Amino acid sequence: MSEKVKVALNWLKGLLESENIEYQIVGGLAATIHGGSREVADIDLYIHNSDAKKVLAHVSQYVSKPLTHYSEYGWDLEYFQLIYRNQKVEIGLAQHTKIQSSLDGSWHQLEIDFSKSVVKSYQGIELQVIPVHQLVEYKRILGREVDLIDVQQLASSSAP
Determine what percent of the chain falls in helix, strand and coil, rounding each to the nearest 5.
40, 35, 25
- Is 35:157 a contact under the CB 8 Å cutoff? yes
Summarize pLDDT for 86-130 with one digit per residue, the tens.
999 999 999 999 999 999 999 999 999 999 999 999 999 999 999
- Note the pLDDT of residue 83: 98
| pTM of the entire predicted model | 0.93
Asked if the 3-151 domain carries CATH number 3.30.470.30, the reply is no
pLDDT score at 2: 82
**Cβ contacts of 57-61, under 8 Å, gap ≥ 24:** 58/15, 58/19, 59/15, 59/84
Measured CA to CA, the distance from residue 133 to residue 85 in angstroms comes to: 32
- Type of residue numbered 32: T
